[in-house]
Amino acid sequence: MKKKTIAIIAAGVVIVGAITAFTFLNNSLGNNVEIESVIPTQAQGAANGTNTANAAASPAGAAVTAEQLNGAWNIADTSKVYWSVTTSKETVNFVDPSVKGTWNVNLGDAGAMTGEGTVEMSALDSGNGQRDEHVKGADFLSATEFPQSTFVVKSFSKLPAEWTEGTAVPVQLQGTMTVKGITKDVTFDSQAVYSGGQLMLSGTTTVTFEDFGMANPHSIVLDTENNLEVRLELVLSK
């Protein structure tokens, strides 16, 4: 009888644990953040060589001078950085709007161009407070110990000498990302657009959990891809 009682208690503990795990998992599911690109759809189509209906109906933009593009730029408050995690159920996006930094543009000398940004990890948001606190905690980002992440651009692909306002141009950014005090070489495949006195940049790169000392959050009911997509959506102003 004693062994039977112990077995029943053990089974009860397992069931309670499973219910607790399922409840936590269920509360952590669901994507609540849609990625918003700073590059207009029409400009993206032009950069990809695609003629959209709007692009065909619109006159060509004005030529952009080197004087308009060259010089120091600041990352505007409307800029955002996105992190995307893909599971066997869905892709969950996290957005961080607390991006600050400076960029220097020199069309005549790509080697003289620089760019850097800092992101406050406490502002990371997926629209689910319980999930966000877990991700910012010691199991993953350790945001209290490492409150900031950074990206530094060390080299730019050669930019075209001639720009047209409102038309995207492809740009490849090579540099580093630092998360949790760990620095990783990255390449952002990007597009840039000059419009209305602002320079807009949209770029993506892929990293892994292991790159920054984090374990993949696999569970018995949910698989998680090892790759994470990081996306810069930056608006630069002089």
Q: Write out pLDDT tens, residues 147-168.
A: 999 999 999 987 888 899 999 9
Residue 1 lies in a domain: no
Mean pLDDT across the stretch 197-210? 97
Residue 95 lies in a domain: yes
Amino acid occupying residue 51? N
Number of domains, the chain: 1
Token code pair at residue 226: 């090892």
**CATH for 44:** 2.40.128.110
Residue 17 lies in a domain: no
Residue 213 lies in a domain: yes
Q: Write out pLDDT tens, residues 84-133.
A: 999 988 999 999 999 999 999 998 888 899 999 999 999 999 999 999 99
Residue 20 lies in a domain: no
Query: How far is it, in rounded angstroms, from Cα 45 to Cα 56?
Result: 11
Residue 205 lies in a domain: yes
Residue 6 lies in a domain: no
For residues 43 and 78, which has the higher predicted lDDT (pLDDT)? Answer: 78
Mean pLDDT across the stretch 20-38? 68
Instruction: Say yes or no to pLDDT of 186 above 70.
Output: yes
Domain boundaries, position 207: 31-237
Residue 21 lies in a domain: no
